[in-house]
Structure 1
Amino acid sequence: MDFTYLNNTLESWAIAFAVLLGATLAMHCLRRFALHKMQARSQRTETLADDLVARMLRKTYLLIMLTLAAYLASLVLELADRQRLVVSRIAIAALILQLAIWGDTLLRAWRDHAYVSDAPRKASRTIVCFMARLALWVIAFLMVLDNFGFNITALVASLGVGGIAVALAVQNILGDLFASLSIMLDKPFEIGDFIIVGDVLGSVEHIGLKTTRLRGLGGEQVIFANSDLLKSRIHNHKRMETRRVAFVLRVAYGASDTQLARVPVLIREVVDAEPMAAFERAHFFNYGEWSLNFEVVYHFQSPDYIAHMDTQQAVLLEIYRRFEREGIRFAHPLSIVRMADGEVPPRPQAVAPAASFRH
């Protein structure tokens, strides 16, 4: 008389046990082989993908492999529909759990890598990683409940209502938080950048979850809420590749036509002599009330403001020297005052500059 248990003979149970051991051993050996290959490869290369795969393989647990192997072993047994349904649900739950563990491992690896490659944004990346991990485990939990036959519709609805209530209660904080995430992802500026926001000028000193701090030109610290900052127009001067410089030279009336024709050529020579300056144009562009006006435009090939001012000074000094040698006079505003006998002449008005600048 053959021994049977749960409608399966001893031979069937022996085969199932052999499948269980064989599948577990095969998955374990495959994991060890792949892990060894990935670790060896990660030492030879600098790519992040090898390290991520190795970390995922290290987080592949033996208990989950046993559960999946047990499901494969159950396929050779004669089981009731209810028993087979329970085994399959346990196997699916184990698979979901393993996928969630792998996803969590990837997120934490990305966070740790970001700490090294982008340390100034550590706080923002931490909150992004936390929110992503939270969403991952909530989804995994709901999938496991649904797999075991629970009706998760009401639970999802209650979570949605609760989330809306919390969002309304802390909408200002959430606004700054998401603005911080936007700054982190889009990177309109970074720590150390010199920016202009409205009438505030300064260097970015800190980018936090709620605020961004600037060090003003006077040494004071200016603090912006992240949401207010993104609503403003931001001028990022550190990302300026070239600086356009435009100014007007005023030549006195009485200069000869030869001297006037010489001025643009002279200015081109002066600007071209500066290694960081690229000449664009110099034109006699209008007759002023008391001067003949030349507009000069060139581009300084660096965002460095101090270097720009050094070059600007060198250009202006050399133009002054050339004008002295050529006998070209700068214009000064003149006025003729007719006075009756005994009247006191009015005070002279301030003299306008002979050169004005536009950047």
Structure 2
Amino acid sequence: MSKSPPANAQEPIFDAAALQSQTHGLIAASTEWLREHWLQILVAFAIGTVIVLVLHALRRVGAKLCDRPHWAAGWGVVLGRTVSRTGNIFIVMLAAKLVVGYAGAPVQVESTVHFLFTIAAVFQAALWARELILGSIEHRTSAANYQGEALLSAMGLIRLLVTFALFAIALVVVLDNLGVNVTGLVAGLGVGGIAIGLAAQGIFADLFAALAIIFDRPFRRGDKVNYDQTSGVIEGIGLKSTRIRAYTGELRIISNRQLLDKEIQNITVRDHIRIGFTIGVAYETPPDLLERVPAILREIVEAEGGTVARAGFETFGASSIDLSLLFDVPGDDWNKAHPMRDRIVVAIMRRFAKEGISIPYPTQTTYTAAPDGRIIMPYPEVQPVHVENSPDR
């Protein structure tokens, strides 16, 4: 009497009989396919060969784009480098995928070609995406004139992060196509990414702020900026911080994240410098002369090469009638603006003295009364005061 296998016996991982049967079936189907479709196979092989040669030619064109001097640091070299990274396995599998249907291949062969093409295409897409992303960053940094060891360190870290992220996604896609349940893997990668992000959130915040500076380009090395209470020249943009040489001489190091959290004034890119004055004239100025004061100010500024934005009356002050003078000096050079401002101040004083226009000090007029009740006027002449029944009389 035969004994049945125990209930807890483990089944073999590989069924040798099933594997042998599938192998014989594939060989038989392939033999039958070669015998009945040999002409289509030859034509498909020729077409595939042409496709491979064309793709190799395109790859060589991409490599030549990288070598041309006028393409240096441009989008052409980014595209050329991306195309030149096309792998031979992807080229062969693409050609096979394109011609396998025409050759009338059996289901086993067609599914195998499809599977291999999927793997090659996924990893090739990840490689292309990496080159495009890194090439774009390098193009931005070269166009903005970012240099130094800090940039090299940042690019190394960015390359590592981009490569890891893209090929992790590619691996998940391939495993999913193989029928593997990737839910746990995706969850594990997500939890690991969150843990790493929380542990190094300060570093990543400064890194992404550096990327924002590279791509948005609010300033570049050598620009003059005003930030919070700091004014100076950008000396370096690093992986974690930016260095600003203050006009007073000291080097100020500011975190990239903090730098982007506040308003930054880039005074290098402005096309003019605006200077303003508030000028008071005495209330005793005759109205006809007072009416000419704005035109006088405009003439003085234009004679020095400035552009008047506003020259007119502002308000009635406590001791004077106040005028507002705003004028622009072309360019962004304070070494030119300061001397022009000084010349305009001196020219205003000379012209006012010539015209008899007074710029008063803050003054007050006091009116007093004599003992008999008469008002003593505030005139410079001495006015005797007569008091009746005075003991001195």
Q: For the superposition of Structure 1 and Structure 2, which TM-score range results when normalised by the shorter chain? A: 0.7 to 0.9
1:155 equivalent among 155, 172, 185:
185
1:62 aligns with 88
2:170 equivalent among 129, 133, 140:
140
Large movers: runs of 4+ above 6 Å: 36-42
Q: 1:31–1:57: 8 Å Cα contact kept in structure 2?
A: no
1:93 aligns with 119
Deviation (angstroms), 1:190: 2.2
1:231 aligns with 261
After superposition, the Cα gap between the structure-2 partners of 1:31 and 1:108, relative to the gap in structure 1 and judged at 3 Å, is: same
Of 223-232 and 253-262, deviating more is 253-262
Of 291-300 and 220-229, deviating more is 291-300
Q: 2:62–2:82: 8 Å Cα contact kept in structure 1?
A: no
CA distance in 2, matches of 1:22, 1:53: 29
1:29 aligns with 53
> Residue 224 of structure 2 aligns to which amino acid in structure 1?
F
Q: 1:251–1:291: 8 Å Cα contact kept in structure 2?
A: yes
Alignment coverage as a number of residue pairs: 333
Deviation (angstroms), 1:96: 1.9
1:6 aligns with 28
2:245 aligns with 215
Q: 1:6–1:79: 8 Å Cα contact kept in structure 2?
A: no
CA distance in 1, matches of 2:114, 2:251: 61
Could you report, residue by residue, the CA deviation over 1:317-353 in whole angstroms, capped at 9, with x for unpaired residues?
111221222232332345789xxxxxxxxxxxxxxxx
> Residue 235 of structure 1 aligns to which amino acid in structure 2?
Q
State which structure, 1 or 2, has the greater radius of gyration over its C-alpha atoms: 2
1:182 equivalent among 208, 212, 234:
212
Q: 1:195–1:237: 8 Å Cα contact kept in structure 2?
A: yes
> Residue 99 of structure 1 aligns to which amino acid in structure 2?
A
CA distance in 2, matches of 1:125, 1:255: 68
Q: 1:242–1:300: 8 Å Cα contact kept in structure 2?
A: yes
1:245 is aligned to 2:271: no
1:119 equivalent among 142, 145, 151:
145
Q: 1:16–1:73: 8 Å Cα contact kept in structure 2?
A: no
> Residue 271 of structure 1 aligns to which amino acid in structure 2?
V
RMSD in angstroms over aligned alpha carbons?
3.4
CA distance in 1, matches of 2:69, 2:271: 37
Using CA pairs under 8 Å that are at least 6 residues apart, name the structure with larger relative contact order, 1 or 2: 1
Deviation (angstroms), 1:138: 1.7
Could you report, residue by residue, the CA deviation over 1:252-289 in whole angstroms, capped at 9, with x for unpaired residues?
454333332232221111112132x2113333444444
What SS does structure 2 have at the residue aligned with 1:136? helix
Could you report, residue by residue, the CA deviation over 1:21-63 in whole angstroms, capped at 9, with x for unpaired residues?
4244212221244456667889698595654554344333333
1:203 aligns with 233
2:355 aligns with 326
After superposition, the Cα gap between the structure-2 partners of 1:294 and 1:67, relative to the gap in structure 1 and judged at 3 Å, is: closer
Structure 1: gaps of 5 or more residues: 338-359
CA distance in 2, matches of 1:133, 1:147: 21
Q: 1:285–1:295: 8 Å Cα contact kept in structure 2?
A: yes
> Residue 120 of structure 1 aligns to which amino acid in structure 2?
Y
1:355 aligns with none
After superposition, the Cα gap between the structure-2 partners of 1:155 and 1:233, relative to the gap in structure 1 and judged at 3 Å, is: same
1:301 is aligned to 2:330: yes
> Residue 91 of structure 1 aligns to which amino acid in structure 2?
F
Question: What TM-score do the two structures reach when normalised by structure 2?
Answer: 0.72
> Residue 63 of structure 1 aligns to which amino acid in structure 2?
I
Q: 1:201–1:216: 8 Å Cα contact kept in structure 2?
A: yes
